[in-house]
Amino acid sequence: MSVRQSLLAILDQGPCYGYQLRAEFDRRTGSTWPLNVGQIYNTLERLECDGFVERGDADDQGHVYWRITPGGSAEVASWLGSPVVREQATRDELAIKLALAATLPGVDAGAVIQAQRVASLSHLRSLQRAKHAGADPGNPEELARSLVVDSLIFAAEAEVRWLDHTEQRLLSHPRHAMGLELATERPRRGRPVRSGADPQPRRARQP
């Protein structure tokens, strides 16, 4: 989630102070991604350094209003008009955990999957309950909340399907053939060569 662009998009509607930005962000996301005020002000200061926002005068209550610059408005337009690029590298903890469990001798990967499935299904049911709690399709704030919850529900459903798929794949292989013992060959220092990639040839030394 980009806090930076989200705050800029709100400021593009008009000047706001810190707590006001947090309240507006909560209203427009159904309070599903809570932000603390310290995070907001740190982000605002970085945006100010980049020339995307500038701070104005304080009101009678000491609230300092921040306003967007033309460069900030252009950044918002670029963000809204561009697709979100997903990370290509696999950094998902669950995927890494199951990959290790499947190849560590003596580990019951099926038990690991079952424990995760119970937790994932419980999480999915809680999301489904949250979706229908106080649903009011005519309320813009409720619409915003339901859109985010829908995204979480689809992700939870996909996780359960992936767990089922992983379990079936593991069942199709003999358990004793999947364990990887520690390699006897000592790895060389430096970064490992990527699989399928040819190492760069070394240049011959000049005589």
Domain regions of the chain by residue span: 3-80, 93-178
pLDDT, tens digit (0-9, with 9 covering 90-100), for 78-100 = 999 988 877 766 678 899 899 88
Sequence-ordered strand ranges (E) for the chain: 53-58, 64-68
Instruction: Give the per-residue pLDDT at 207.
Output: 46
Q: Name residue, tokens 């060569």.
A: 193
pLDDT, tens digit (0-9, with 9 covering 90-100), for 96-133 = 899 888 888 888 899 999 999 999 999 999 999 988 77
pLDDT, tens digit (0-9, with 9 covering 90-100), for 30-69 = 777 888 899 999 999 999 999 999 999 899 999 999 999 9
Give domain 3-80's CATH architecture: Orthogonal Bundle (1.10)
pTM here is 0.70
**What does DSSP assign to residue 10?**
H
In sign, the C-alpha dihedral spanning 124, 126, 128, 130 is negative
| CA pair distance 148, 179, nearest whole angstrom | 40
Segment (H or E) for 55:
strand 53-58
Q: Which of 50, 58, 78 is nearest to 17 (CA)?
A: 58
Whether the CB-CB separation of 9 and 53 falls below 8 Å is answered with: no
pLDDT, tens digit (0-9, with 9 covering 90-100), for 137-183 = 678 888 888 888 899 999 999 999 999 999 999 888 766 556 777 77
| CA pair distance 101, 159, nearest whole angstrom | 17
Instruction: Give the per-residue pLDDT at 103.
Output: 86
Residues found in the chain: 207
Instruction: Give the per-residue pLDDT at 199.
Output: 52
